[in-house]
């Protein structure tokens, strides 16, 4: 599948809804920040230098050995994509909003299944990202390492024996590693425990933030946990720390679910089915309401209340109902009210196939 095709469908590897602990963990992500020797960081490059970096990365990922070991990696200049197509890649969690905000002299490398992406000339020359479904930070890290090792054979990384990998922003110096997981924590939100967890995380070098929206007011109860520190710890320590702490959060969320199920099963079922009813029939749905209803549908799957819906369908809904995806579908720019209307239509179509029992 080409990148031009990728923006037409709501598939990415992470959206498959498979992987360990998928009742709480949506996806695991690893990002490595890398820069080339002999070139200024992207913000200080000339146009020609940027083009040389792009050329070097393109050559590196085009090696036969890379394709053999990781599958085909497609290369594209960001300027070849329309603004809406670029925004869709953000909505699919494949690139950062920063990367597509100014497409000049920037490029993207993307695996067919979108599990691997390399942003070229974002904040650093290379941002190698791997994204897998479920709770597998170690596997995701191994995958990123493999890509990193493969392309390092042809690229000359900026590396200092004392400080490690050098990066544009000091917070990434050292390992250049950011590992994160996206968690669905509806019952920790319901029981108002999320605030405490967010505070506790900073004491163990991790950050928790709402993926959509701000802080504990996260739409859709989706939270991203990631490491804050990239230096003074080995990559393995960073990954293991995140793994161990996340396991505790997963356990807390499961306990909260069991308690609510035991004491308020009716309320929980009502919540899930109301979301299904609203999503199946409403004619206008805002982006925030959609995310909150999607969260309740996902909770319905997680608790075995909704048996005809899949995690995959839920993840598709998250992406399909984002603004750029809707505009791509409409083939034109839409004002918020038009988006709310088309969003409701897209959701109805999706759920029509999945009849609630």
Residue 283 sits in the site that holds its own copies (CB under 8 A): yes
Residue 333 sits in the site that holds its own copies (CB under 8 A): no
* Single residue of 8, 269, 312, 354 touching its own copies by CB under 8 A: 269
* Single residue of 47, 162, 266, 353 touching its own copies by CB under 8 A: 266
Residues 6+ apart with CB under 8 A from 344: 282, 283, 284, 285
SS (H, E, C) 34-94: ECECCCCCHHHCCHHHHHHHHHHHHHHHCCHHHHHHHCCEEEEEHHHCCHHHHHHHHHCCC
Residue 334 sits in the site that holds its own copies (CB under 8 A): no
Residue 96 to residue 124: CA distance in whole angstroms: 12
Least distance (Å) between residue 338 CB and its own copies: 10
Given the rule CB under 8 A, which of 48-56, 103-111, 189-197, 262-270 is the region that contacts its own copies?
262-270
Residue 145 sits in the site that holds its own copies (CB under 8 A): no
Residue 3 sits in the site that holds its own copies (CB under 8 A): no
Please give the DSSP secondary-structure letter assigned to residue 332. Answer: S
Helices 323-330 and 83-91, interaxial angle, to 10°? 140
Q: Which residue has the tokens 């995310």?
A: 291
Residue 267 sits in the site that holds its own copies (CB under 8 A): yes
Given the rule CB under 8 A, which of 51-59, 118-126, 192-200, 274-282 is the region that contacts its own copies?
274-282
| Of 31 and 343, CB closest to its own copies | 343
Residue 284 sits in the site that holds its own copies (CB under 8 A): yes
Binding residues for its own copies, how many (CB under 8 A)?
19
| Of 196 and 274, CB closest to its own copies | 274
Least distance (Å) between residue 291 CB and its own copies: 17
How many residues does this entry show for the chain?
Answer: 357
| Of 78 and 272, CB closest to its own copies | 272
* Single residue of 278, 286, 310, 312 touching its own copies by CB under 8 A: 278
Q: Which of 347, 318, 248, 294 is nearest to 27 (CA)?
A: 318
Least distance (Å) between residue 271 CB and its own copies: 9
Least distance (Å) between residue 289 CB and its own copies: 11
Classify burial at 129, counting beta carbons within 10 Å of its beta carbon; exposed 0-12, middle 13-18, buried 19 or more.
Answer: buried
* Single residue of 55, 153, 247, 274 touching its own copies by CB under 8 A: 274
Residues 6+ apart with CB under 8 A from 25: 19, 134, 135, 181, 182, 183, 184, 246, 250
Residues 6+ apart with CB under 8 A from 281: 348
* Residue 194 three-state SS: helix
Residue 133 to residue 17: CA distance in whole angstroms: 6
Given the rule CB under 8 A, which of 14-22, 50-58, 147-155, 268-276 is the region that contacts its own copies?
268-276
Given the rule CB under 8 A, which of 6-14, 141-149, 233-241, 261-269 is the region that contacts its own copies?
261-269
Given the rule CB under 8 A, which of 101-109, 131-139, 145-153, 282-290 is the region that contacts its own copies?
282-290
Helices 235-281 and 287-302, interaxial angle, to 10°? 100
Least distance (Å) between residue 281 CB and its own copies: 3
Residue 277 sits in the site that holds its own copies (CB under 8 A): yes
Do 156 and 213 meet the contact criterion of CB atoms below 8 Å apart? no
* Single residue of 244, 270, 333, 349 touching its own copies by CB under 8 A: 270
| Of 157 and 273, CB closest to its own copies | 273
| Residues at the interface with its own copies (CB under 8 A) | 266-267, 269-270, 273-274, 276-284, 337, 341, 344, 356
């Amino acid at each position: 599948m080409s990148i031009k095709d990728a923006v037409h469908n709501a598939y990415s590897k992470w959206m498959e809804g498979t992987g360990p602990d998928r009742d709480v963990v949506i996806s695991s992500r690893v990002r490595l920040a890398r820069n080339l020797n002999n070139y200024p960081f992207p913000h200080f490059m000339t146009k020609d230098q940027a083009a040389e970096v792009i050329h070097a990365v393109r050559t590196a990922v085009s090696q036969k050995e890379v394709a053999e070991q990781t599958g085909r990696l497609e290369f594209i200049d960001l300027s070849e994509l329309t603004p809406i197509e670029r925004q869709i890649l953000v909505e699919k969690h494949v690139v950062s909003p920063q990367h597509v905000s100014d497409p000049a002299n920037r490029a993207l490398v993307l695996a067919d299944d979108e599990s691997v992406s390399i942003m070229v000339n974002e904040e650093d020359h290379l941002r190698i990202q791997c994204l897998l479904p479920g709770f597998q930070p170690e596997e995701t890290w191994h995958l990123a390492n493999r890509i990193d090792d493969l392309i390092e054979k042809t690229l000359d990384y900026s590396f200092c024996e004392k400080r490690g990998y050098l990066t544009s922003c000091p917070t990434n110096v050292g390992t250049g590693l950011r590992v994160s997981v996206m968690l669905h924590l509806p019952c920790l939100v319901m029981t108002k425990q999320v605030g405490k967890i967010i505070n506790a995380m900073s004491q163990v070098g991790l950050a928790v933030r709402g993926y959509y929206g701000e802080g504990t007011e996260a739409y859709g109860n989706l939270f991203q946990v990631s490491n804050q520190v990239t230096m003074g710890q080995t990559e393995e320590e960073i990954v293991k720390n995140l793994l161990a702490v996340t396991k505790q959060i997963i356990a807390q969320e499961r306990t909260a679910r069991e308690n609510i199920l035991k004491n308020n099963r009716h309320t929980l079922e009502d919540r899930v089915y109301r979301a299904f009813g609203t999503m199946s029939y409403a004619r206008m749905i805002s982006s925030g309401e959609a995310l909150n209803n999607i969260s309740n549908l996902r909770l319905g799957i997680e608790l075995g209340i909704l048996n005809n819906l899949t995690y995959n369908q839920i993840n598709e809904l998250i992406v399909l109902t984002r603004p750029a995806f809707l505009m791509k579908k409409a083939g034109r720019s839409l004002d918020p009210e038009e988006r709310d209307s088309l969003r409701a239509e897209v959701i109805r179509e999706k759920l029509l196939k999945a009849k609630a029992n």
